[in-house]
Amino acid sequence: RRRSLSARVSGPGRTADGHPVKLLVNLGALQELPAAAAADSEGVGLFRTEFLYLDRDQAPTVEEQTAAYREVFAAFTGRRVVVRTLDAGADKPLPFATAADEQNPALGVRGLRTARRDPQLLETQLTAIAAAAQDGEAEVWVMAPMVSVPGEAAAFAERAKAHGLRTAGAMVEVPAAALRAGDVAQQCDFLSIGTNDLAQYAFAADRTLGSLAEFLDPWQPALLELVRTAAEAGAGQGRPVGVCGEAAADPLLALVLVGLGVTSLSAAPGCLGDVRASLASHGLDDCRRLAGLALAAPDAAAAREAVRNAAA
Ligand code: PEP
Ligand code: MG
């Protein structure tokens, strides 16, 4: 049934009663660009830029970065591209940006924190993004990974704006940022929830350990509670709040996320059709009711089961 729905529904994401939900793609390498650009989406919700920095002993130059960003922006002319600045550290170590001797790299100098140690790393990247944005017609947004406190969002937005980049946001992937999302949102233009890291940090469970998968299940009610907190706080500040972690790829969970107040979903291009079809067959009130069922469940399996039964 889903297959036939997904074949029929196209264009911007909407619930059955017309509530808009932006559907965007995740992009993590230039090889993925043709498929990402060809997908029926309103743009890129998470452009992971780490690939530019891997397998090197120093950071790519402004020119190298500008060329790569230009290629991406050209493929998304007239659409949005949310560029996530370098997220080095933890599961993405880089010899020139992260320390090899940290005892707990996931809790160490990673994400935006690397810019504190080496401000030039971020400056060079923002310079390249701004230059490429000028050359193209994409709607370029930038966002910072691993923001923990509002001051980091403010500092990032200040640097982005100094480079002429008008829309700057913060990822919500640290529980502290979710709990204080209103204060974070006040300091920038949008929030984007990274459910992979948010689950890792909320459950104190290493995201790379398959043996801890049950804690990392995006249906965990505690994770959904953090999503609701962030989405409501963002709405209170008039800011869009998206989800760009793997949770956004699940058509059933997408209904719950929208019911919790999430305004955009970003996932692998191949997942969007089913997510779009799922939204198109449920109204916003339905989504809110399903979100309530998931939040009321005692664990992830019960949440999934309750929503699956009620959504059918
Ligand atoms: C996340 O943490 O959910 C996220 C989208 O970022 P990454 O998976 O690149 O850490
Ligand atoms: Mg992350």
The complex's ipTM?
Answer: 0.99
Q: What pairs with residue 84 in β-bridges?
A: 48, 143
Q: What is the pLDDT of residue 305?
A: 98
How is residue 268 written in tokens? 């692998």
Distance CA 255, CA 253 (A): 5
% pLDDT > 70, the chain? 97
Task: Output the CA 145–ligand 2 centroid distance in Å.
Answer: 6
Measured in residues, the chain has a length of 312
> DSSP letters along 144-168, please?
ESS--SHHHHHHHHHHHHHTT--EE
Proximal ligand: closest to the CA of 249: 1
Distance (angstroms) between ligand 1 centre and the Cα of 285 equals: 29
Cβ–Cβ under 8 Å, residues 86 and 122: yes
Please report which confidence band the pLDDT of residue 100 belongs to, taking 50, 70 and 90 as the band edges. Answer: confident
117-134 pLDDT per residue, tens: 999 999 999 999 999 999
pLDDT at 290 over 50: yes
Contacts 24+ apart (CB under 8 A), 108-112: 110/145, 110/146, 111/87, 111/144, 111/145, 111/146, 111/147, 111/171, 112/85, 112/144, 112/145, 112/146, 112/147, 112/152, 112/156
pLDDT band at 1 (very low <50, low <70, confident <90, very high): very low
Tell which one of 32, 241, 243, 244 to mutate to probe ligand 1, the residue whose CB is within 8 A of the most ligand atoms: 244
Say if residues 200 and 54 touch (Cβ distance below 8 Å).
no
CA 207 to centroid of ligand 2, rounded, Å:
10
Mutate to test the pocket of ligand 1, among 173, 206, 226, 227 (most ligand atoms within 8 A of CB): 173
CA nearest 259: which of 202, 213, 306?
306
3 has a pLDDT exceeding 80: no
Query: Which residue has a Cα nearest atom 8 of ligand 1?
Result: 196
What pTM value is reported for the model? 0.96
* C-alpha 54 chain-centroid distance: 21
Q: What is the pLDDT of residues 129-187, one digit of tens each?
A: 999 999 999 999 999 999 999 999 999 999 999 999 999 999 999 999 999 999 999 99
**Per-chain mean pLDDT for the chain:** 96
In which band, very low, low, confident or very high, does the pLDDT at 92 lie, cut at 50, 70 and 90? confident
Sign (positive/negative) of CA torsion 75, 268, 193, 278? positive
The mean-pLDDT minimum among 87-91, 141-145, 257-261 falls in: 87-91
Sign of CA dihedral 174, 176, 180, 183: negative
Residue 7: predicted pLDDT: 55
Closest Cα to atom 10, ligand 1: which residue? 197
pLDDT of residue 312: 84
- Cα–Cα distance between 125 and 136 in angstroms, integer? 17
Please name which ligand lies nearest the alpha carbon of 84. 1
CA of 4 to the centre of ligand 1 (A): 31
Give the strand pairing for 43-48 and 22-27: parallel
Which helix H or strand E contains 227, and what residues bound it?
helix 221-236
Instruction: Identify the residues whose C-beta falls under 6 Å from ligand 1.
Output: 46, 48, 87, 173, 194-197, 244-245
pLDDT confidence tier of residue 4, bands split at 50, 70 and 90: low
Residues 9-44 as b/e (b if ≥16 CB within 10 A, e otherwise) read: beeebbbeeebebbbbbbbeeeebbeebbebebbbb
CA of residue 263 to ligand 2 center, whole Å: 19
Strand partners, 47: 27, 83
What pLDDT, on the 0 to 100 scale, is given for residue 6? Answer: 53
Q: Between the CA of residue 5 and those of 10, 174, 276, what are the distances in Å?
A: 10, 36, 9
| DSSP character at residue 90 | T
Answer whether residue 247 shows pLDDT above 60: yes
142 in Cβ contact with 129 (< 8 Å): yes
